[in-house]
Amino acid sequence: MSTPTPLLAALALAAVLLPAAALNASQPPSTAAPQTSNVPLPLTVRDATVVAVPPGAAETSAFLTLQNTGKVPVVLTGVRTDLARHAMLMTTQRDAQGMTGMNMVQALTVPAGGTLKLSASGDHLMLMDLTRTPKVGETVRLTLTARDGRTLTVNAVVRKP
């Protein structure tokens, strides 16, 4: 029996590795949330507000201030509420011509030991396709989701702008 040449050995190895790599590549990436503990998010909430809108309005905004008491940033990746069929993380930016516009973003970060203020003039939450008109003074529950899968429930009061 002869010793295989390096080329034959490489071809044999490729015959084993390439089909396995192709199988893994054809499967969609996992969308499961990363494993998290039952440790709550290290966030405190102040001034949580949903903007009151007239009957028939299809959307509104929510504002609040989040303080991160932890030592690592908290990356928020989503928001949901029974008040709206769709909710988004938004940022407000001014362009070179001074025009202001809003853009949906995939994440907002509360820096470690820092604060994220969600307001009418900056980052905020948009509540789209409202299920009903919120009443001034009522409390609306918002659920913020962090990148690691943990959530924070926020009670926001409906207030006139």
Using the predicted structure, report yes or no on whether residue 32 has a pLDDT greater than 80: no
Cα 139 from Cα 48, distance rounded (Å): 10
Q: What is the pTM of this model?
A: 0.75
In this structure, what are the phi and psi dihedrals at residue 33, rounded to the nearest 5 degrees? -65, 145
- Mean pLDDT, residues 125-143 taken together: 98
Please, is 140 exposed, middle or buried when counting C-beta atoms within 10 Å of its C-beta (0-12, 13-18, 19+)?
Answer: buried
Residues 62-98: tens digit of each pLDDT:
999 999 999 999 999 999 999 999 999 999 888 888 8
Average pLDDT, the chain: 85
Kind of pairing between the strands at 124-130 and 84-94: antiparallel
Using the predicted structure, report yes or no on whether residue 6 has a pLDDT greater than 70: no
Cα 127 from Cα 51, distance rounded (Å): 10
Using the predicted structure, report yes or no on whether residue 8 has a pLDDT greater than 80: no
